[in-house]
Amino acid sequence: MTKKKTDLEDIVSLAKRRGFIYQGSEVYGGISGFYDYGPFGVTLKRNITNLWWKMFVDGREDILGVDAAIIMNPKVWQASGHVDTFTDPLVECKNCNSRFRADKIDVSKCPNCGKSGTFGEAKMFNMMFKTNIGPIDSDDSIAYLRPETAQGIFTNYKNIVDTIYPDMPFGVAQIGKAFRNEISPRDFIFRVRELEQMEVEYFVHPDEWEKSFEKWRTDIYVWFKALGLDAAKIHELDVPDNDRAHYSKRTIDFEYEFPIGKEELMGLAYRTDFDLLNIQKATGKSMEYIQKGSNNKFIPHVIEPSFGLERVMMAVLAEAYTEDEINGDKRIYLKLPPELAPIKFCVSPLLKNKPELVKKAREIYVNLQKKYHNVMWDDNGNIGKRYRRQDEIGTPKCVVIDFDTLADDTVTVRDRDTTKQKRVSVKDL
Ligand code: ATP
């Protein structure tokens, strides 16, 4: 019997016990809204970003990559509107001093202490992390950790047009850290204070924005499919006027049925010429694009698909998490698409105290490792334990070397999803 619904605790617990995700600074008691990625977590994360880069940058002639600095000239955040409007409404309970985002709770009653009428007026709280540049801690030295990767793209738009002059439409993509001082980080890695974004700013002629928006809207499903996400669990929400970010004229949130409920996985926004126009106004430099083959000039409009890596990780883990029963015993495994699986093969000798088996197994391990890189050697515990461990890591195939291997050069290959075993010739591995 396969379990239907996955609880968040199941995922948190597996992620911890198998070395995917740890609480940030855990030995010091943790720190709210920050997480660390363990050996398998970091590989899963890399596999996701690599897949994204392959799909949206390397695999397309119309999208180029950049990698901008996290700390930018503070004028960026003035012009972009973040200093004035990147805020959430903060309320504080007068009874227990707990703080909440006013738009996420019922403010008539405190969710922490249960008292009614303890909240005053909401204060607007800016979510950008501040720091100072240089040795002097003054208002003039204030800088921000970027709250989105997008501005690192907009500020390089002119460099890219001046140096490379791509055909219109074209996109510029970036993967990198962003920081948001969220009032209430929650639900594991769903809402964190240090996150990673994968964003494309797609520059189009103003007349073409709708066409391009619709194309992105459908193209995104290819990405969801590559992640192994069930399309039936993805829902589009056309964000109403009053809920949209200050820069957007149209936004579709792609929501996923997470274990915590239906929540935003990523966003697709029409940012108009808001950002380029702001840069032009603030710097006095022209952001116009000259249409090739004519002298037609215009400031491009922008379609922005914005992906949050933590939410992708959480969706991928939730989708892959499976429980079934093997010979009456409960089994947990991660049904990850092979391209995402942190370990592709696990190689082990049936018995670790038989030097001839170990020697042969090492040979096979080294050869597979050369070819597939993410291959794991595991000779701990009995074979059943090793299978369970690899199931929870999501390793698609386990290769076991036994005495028959020495005789006929065949190995047992065991499949994660079916648990079926097959004899395979070493040369066919
Ligand atoms: P939310 O409404 O959940 O706060 P948002 O609409 O402000 O998110 P965007 O500014 O559109 O989010 O950011 C783009 C993407 O970045 C989101 O779809 C999400 O995947 C991710 N993201 C944003 N904030 C966080 C966060 N605090 N923790 C993890 N991921 C985040």
How does pLDDT run across 73-119, given as a tens digit for each residue? Answer: 999 999 999 999 999 899 999 999 988 989 888 999 999 999 999 99
How far is it, in rounded angstroms, from Cα 351 to Cα 358?
8
The CATH superfamily assigned to 343-428 is: Anticodon-binding domain (3.40.50.800)
Q: How far is the CA of 25 from the centre of ligand 1 (A)?
A: 23
Give the CATH number of domain 8-71+137-318; options: 3.20.20.70, 3.40.50.300, 3.30.420.40, 3.30.930.10.
3.30.930.10
- How large is the average pLDDT for residues 403-425? 96
Which atom of ligand 1 approaches the CA of 311 most closely? 20
Q: Which residue in this structure is represented by tokens 């291997």?
A: 405
In angstroms, the first-to-last Cα distance of the chain is: 31
* Tens digit of each residue's pLDDT (9 = 90 or more) over 131-184: 999 998 888 899 999 999 999 999 999 999 999 999 999 999 999 999 999 999
Q: List the residue whose alpha carbon is closest to atom 8 of ligand 1.
A: 264
Q: List the residue whose alpha carbon is closest to atom 7 of ligand 1.
A: 245
The residues of the chain that CATH labels 3.30.930.10 are 8-71+137-318
pLDDT the model gives residue 368: 96
How far is it, in rounded angstroms, from Cα 235 to Cα 207?
28
Stated pTM of the model: 0.94
Asked if the model's pLDDT at residue 1 lies above 70, the reply is no
pLDDT the model gives residue 4: 55
Q: List the residue whose alpha carbon is closest to atom 21 of ligand 1.
A: 308
246 and 235 Cβ atoms separated by less than 8 Å: no
Q: How far is the CA of 269 from the centre of ligand 1 (A)?
A: 12
- How large is the average pLDDT for residues 21-44? 97
* Tens digit of each residue's pLDDT (9 = 90 or more) over 195-249: 999 999 999 999 999 999 999 999 999 999 999 999 999 999 999 998 888 888 9
Q: List the residue whose alpha carbon is closest to atom 2 of ligand 1.
A: 264
* Tens digit of each residue's pLDDT (9 = 90 or more) over 257-297: 999 999 999 999 999 999 999 999 999 999 999 999 998 99
- B/e letters for 259-295, b = 16+ CB within 10 Å, e = fewer, are beeebbbbbbbbbbbbbbebbbeeeeeebebeeeeee
The residues of the chain that CATH labels 3.40.50.800 are 343-428
* Conformational region of residue 339, where left means phi above 0, alpha means psi within -120 to 50, and beta covers everything else: alpha
